[in-house]
Structure 1
């Protein structure tokens, strides 16, 4: 998977499909639709920045470094596993103390669904902040490793950095909108189920959504990891 394809994979990700299945968004899942939307996000200034960065790639100075690709891949898998386990354990009281506390279900049906959803909103956003911190740090580490492996990977890392800066605001808006969309789903379920069943059903959906969001947030890093592994495999068999 190239870095460009990993960025574009957002439209076919499990996250978008999950949101669609919850009937809280009318996002059309098609490559042409997403590519068009992506083009609208990148304004003239962004286009100039990307074009300038791309034109400078062939003249970039390359400083080789000793990089253990397997260690970088292991780091990616370790962080991914840690984030996933953190989400899963936060939904399981038997898993022990969790830094992010799951809301306690109400004993009676909520008269104010917005107020009833507020603890779940804080819970979801707390996980999102954790995703931001861990995955941004991981992406920087993988990008740094790629920079020292080959001129081509150094160029890819530089382009990844510029592309990340260009799309950060837009992706942040996308992820920020998810808890709001989830609130619509909570409101739908609140009108259909008694309190305890509402809590259980909603938590199942919320956990699935968080896991899907992890997958989507990791796509750019996965693109770099696969590029590193392709480079290593190529050199191994040459």
Structure 2
């Protein structure tokens, strides 16, 4: 079953940040296993190998479960997709909602960036709580489905434990990247023919919003993958 899951394209967050960063030097391409191996230290690799027992146990438990107690795949997929769309819409609306009392002041860039830094922290925390709860809910639903989906849910739980910390550390670098982008936009207008034009703040606000939406897309990808796996049961 796992080999039939759809491949994951480059995230919107990676594409957005790539516009700001220098192009990487071309090197030899690596397959997924090689790249994954570089993320794992010895302790983590042992933990992942040991997880196969728990994954198999989850499948066996689902096999023993009476089929009459499970939700039909089509209905389960529809229910989970609706929940995904609801969480995504709520978080996207929160990201797009701008403080009506905020009055951008290009003459005080430190205060301006502090405002966005705080907003980034709040939105990341909101996304983390909501998406983690949704992911756990989807896993529980899959665990009550077929043995294959129960194994997939168990595997996803172990993968989140192994890689969740790394994801958070990578996302914690966003403030520094945003600060550099903020400074670049400010410097560009300062050396232009219109150094007092405040529209660069609006440009930053728009890009800031797109970065948060891209982060939301990245955080939801594992949940989307779990739900999409149900499509292969039709």
SS in 2 for 1:191: helix
**1:97-136 alignment runs, 5 A limit:** 103-108=102-107, 110=109, 113=110, 116-136=112-132
Question: 1: CA distance between counterparts of 2:88 and 2:117?
Answer: 23
Q: List runs of 5+ in structure 2 lacking aligned partners.
A: 190-195
Aligned residue number for residue 96 of structure 1: none
Question: 1: CA distance between counterparts of 2:25 and 2:179?
Answer: 17
Moved over 6 A (4+): 3-6, 27-31
The Cα offsets for residues 132-153 of structure 1, whole Å up to 9 and x where unpaired, read as: 0100000000000000110110
Q: 1:206 aligns with which of 195, 208, 217?
A: 208
The answer as to whether partners of 2:20 and 2:181 remain within 8 angstroms in 1 is yes
How far did residue 2 of structure 1 move? 5.7
Which structure has the larger Rg?
Answer: 2
Aligned residue number for residue 66 of structure 1: 70
1:215 aligns with 2:222: no
Give the RMSD, CA atoms, in angstroms. 3.0
TM-score by structure 2 length? 0.81
Aligned residue number for residue 89 of structure 2: 81
The answer as to whether partners of 1:135 and 1:218 remain within 8 angstroms in 2 is yes
Question: 2: CA distance between counterparts of 1:198 and 1:82?
Answer: 28
Aligned residue number for residue 157 of structure 2: 161
How far did residue 104 of structure 1 move? 3.2
SS in 1 for 2:145: coil
TM-score by structure 1 length? 0.80
**1:32-51 alignment runs, 5 A limit:** 32=30, 36-51=34-49
The Cα offsets for residues 3-25 of structure 1, whole Å up to 9 and x where unpaired, read as: 9978x847x11111100102378
Q: Structure 1 residues 173 and 28, CA, compared in 2 at 3 Å: closer, same or farther? A: farther
Question: 2: CA distance between counterparts of 1:83 and 1:15?
Answer: 16
Q: 1:54 aligns with which of 52, 55, 60?
A: 52
Aligned residue number for residue 188 of structure 1: 184
Q: List runs of 5+ in structure 1 lacking aligned partners.
A: 94-100, 234-238
Aligned residue number for residue 192 of structure 2: none
How far did residue 119 of structure 1 move? 1.5
The answer as to whether partners of 1:3 and 1:220 remain within 8 angstroms in 2 is no
The Cα offsets for residues 195-237 of structure 1, whole Å up to 9 and x where unpaired, read as: 6212101011111111111111100000101012332x2xxxx
